[in-house]
Copies of this chain bind each other. A is one copy, B any other.
């Protein structure tokens, strides 16, 4: 069993290929199942199989065939329509359970997928277990450092992320001082930063010395095997375009994709990027909440 390959169920973005490279470098046997309509061309070119998102039977058939020792979900799998999803699931699972699942947030949905795979006998692990080097370290990336105002923004952002955590939304917020500029919804970080940029353009938030900070952290109680918050060079460029001073991520629980390029982008744009011990902030927030 443990001699089987690692199966990557790959969605959109760079993570699936980055992860495949890491595992291949480490000499692990690999199988890649690309999800049609989400995975990009490069992943599909390297995939052992390609299935539509909703072809649950097809995906399970691949797994039965490959007998992987471990399965991991990597990359974005944006939410399909509830009706389509219910239709696809219905051959496998009870309809009522599916409706409950799709009525809730992303996290619950992905948890359902994980449970389904594990019910078929394949253990699901996260990027954390497979390639912990992709996770943010504590400390600074690049030469810039957050100032006292930035530190205040970061603490406020972590408190806010904590508060909305039970609602299965938002792994990212943009804050400037105690001013909340944007809370990320299903649209993702890039669009959230675009919104912050537009607000800046409309002068709806100030040009104080604290230009604002993007703060990212996983939801409390989130299944860390899926959907870890991630940043990369594009995140840095978008944060710079929004006039932000920097980016703070929860160390150990946030992916830093293309670390070198990310640091280079931070240097080029003059932004700080810092991996913080979010637990510390959360504890403080808990105390203050009373």
Which residues of A come within 8 Å of B, CB atoms? Answer: 78-83, 85, 99, 102-105, 108, 149, 152, 156, 159-160, 163-164, 166-170, 176-183, 185-187, 195, 198-199, 202-208, 210
A-B pairs, top 9 by smallest CB distance, nearest first, are A82-B206, A103-B177, A169-B180, A82-B208, A183-B183, A104-B178, A186-B204, A81-B207, A182-B185
Residues of B within 8 A of A207 (CB): 81-83
- Could you tell me the distance in whole angstroms from the C-beta of A107 to the nearest C-beta in chain B? 11
Does B206 lie within 8 Å of A83, measured CB to CB?
yes
Please pick, from B79, B80, B105, B156, the residue contacting A180 in the complex, using a CB distance under 8 A. B105
Give A108 to B208 CA distance when docked, in angstroms: 16
Give A202 to B156 CA distance when docked, in angstroms: 31
As for how many copies of this chain the complex holds, the number is: 2
**Known pairs A79-B204, A163-B163, A168-B178 / 7 extra A-B pairs, C-beta < 8 Å:** A83-B208, A103-B176, A103-B178, A104-B177, A167-B180, A169-B180, A186-B204
| Minimal Cβ-Cβ distance residue in B for A196 | B185
| Minimal Cβ-Cβ distance residue in B for A103 | B177
- Could you tell me the distance in whole angstroms from the C-beta of A112 to the nearest C-beta in chain B? 14
Does A186 lie within 8 Å of B181, measured CB to CB?
yes
Tell me whether A164 and B160 are in contact in the complex, defined as CB-CB below 8 angstroms, given that A82-B208, A103-B177, A185-B195 are known contacts.
Answer: yes
20 cross-chain CB contacts under 8 A:
A78-B202, A79-B204, A79-B206, A81-B203, A81-B207, A82-B206, A82-B207, A83-B206, A83-B208, A102-B177, A103-B178, A103-B179, A104-B177, A160-B164, A168-B178, A170-B183, A183-B183, A186-B204, A186-B205, A187-B195
- Could you tell me the distance in whole angstroms from the C-beta of A156 to the nearest C-beta in chain B? 8
Does A179 lie within 8 Å of B105, measured CB to CB?
yes
Tell me whether A103 and B208 are in contact in the complex, defined as CB-CB below 8 angstroms, given that A160-B167, A185-B181, A199-B186 are known contacts.
Answer: yes
Give A210 to B99 CA distance when docked, in angstroms: 11
Give A167 to B185 CA distance when docked, in angstroms: 17
Give A152 to B100 CA distance when docked, in angstroms: 12
Residues of B within 8 A of A210 (CB): 103
Residues of B within 8 A of A206 (CB): 79-83, 85, 102
| Minimal Cβ-Cβ distance residue in B for A109 | B179
